[in-house]
């Protein structure tokens, strides 16, 4: 049973790594960004509410995001573990997740922080814009997302570091190599925790 988070700036390849890591650990990857995008394209009530925030590169308000994650974490497939990608992104979301997990008697095993220099991130985003055509991958919206990441999500990283859960991973390089690095780092981390338990 493995419960993981992955945190990383926009353009860091977080979504790609989340999918590979989830497959390796045999757990579902739950991406709040993906869930929002899918709702936007299906024009659901949630999608219609969230669309303007996604388009502007702003965070979707906490009441919507927290409710979405709460519902998702009650589904059967995540009972045996999950990898959350894109949540929590703010300190209040950390507290919400704490409550959700505590009410189920669960705890996180590790928090992966994918690190990459800002200069590389914009280049990768521009490539992804050509490949995938995500509507929030424009230079202006991307800079807003990156700025929010530095301002808000830094605190999330510090909170988990303070709890001794942070596993930093160098996110520069080939995606396949980064996946291997991340798997090795997480397994080492979890094994070491097991030895001290």
Residues engaged in binding ligand ADP (CB under 6 A) = 10, 14, 32-33, 36, 53-54, 57-60, 65, 86-87, 89, 93, 136, 145
Residue 54 Cβ vs ligand ADP, minimum distance, rounded to whole Å: 4
Q: Which is nearer to ligand ADP, 1 or 170 (CB)?
A: 170
Helix (H) or strand (E) holding 17: helix 14-25
CA distances from 77 to 1, 20, 21, 81 (A): 12, 17, 16, 8
Residue 174, burial from CB neighbour count under 10 angstroms (0-12, 13-18, 19+)? exposed
Residue closer to ligand ADP, measured from CB, 154 or 188? 154
- Nearest-CB residue for ligand ADP: 33
- Supply the minimum distance, in Å, between the C-beta of residue 35 and ligand ADP: 8
Q: Which is nearer to ligand ADP, 61 or 164 (CB)?
A: 61
Catalytic residue among 3, 14, 37, 72: 14
Which has the closest alpha carbon to 52: 136, 143, 139?
Answer: 136
Of 3, 37, 72, 128, the catalytic one is 128
- Asked whether 41 and 47 are in contact (CB, 8 A), the reply is yes
Q: Give me the sign of the Cα torsion angle 181, 185, 191, 195.
A: positive
Active site residue ranges: 14, 89, 128, 134, 145
């Amino acid at each position: 049973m493995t419960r993981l988070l992955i945190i990383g700036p926009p353009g860091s390849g977080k979504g790609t790594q989340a999918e590979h890591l989830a497959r390796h650990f045999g757990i579902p990857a739950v991406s709040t960004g993906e869930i929002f995008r899918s709702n936007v394209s299906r024009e659901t009530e949630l999608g219609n509410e969230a669309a303007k925030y996604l388009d502007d590169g702003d965070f979707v308000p906490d009441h919507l995001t927290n409710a979405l994650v709460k519902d998702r974490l009650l589904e059967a497939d995540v009972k045996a573990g999950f990898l959350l990608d894109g949540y929590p992104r703010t300190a209040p979301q950390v507290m919400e997740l704490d409550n959700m997990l505590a009410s189920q008697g669960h705890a996180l095993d590790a928090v992966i922080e994918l690190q990459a220099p800002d200069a590389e991130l914009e280049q990768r985003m521009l490539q992804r814009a050509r490949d995938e055509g995500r509507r929030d991958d424009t230079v202006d919206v991307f800079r807003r997302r990156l700025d929010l990441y530095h301002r808000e999500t830094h605190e999330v990283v510090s909170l988990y570091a303070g709890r001794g859960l942070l596993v930093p991973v160098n996110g520069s390089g080939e995606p396949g190599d980064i996946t291997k690095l991340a798997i090795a780092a997480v397994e080492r981390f979890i094994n070491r925790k097991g030895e001290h338990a």
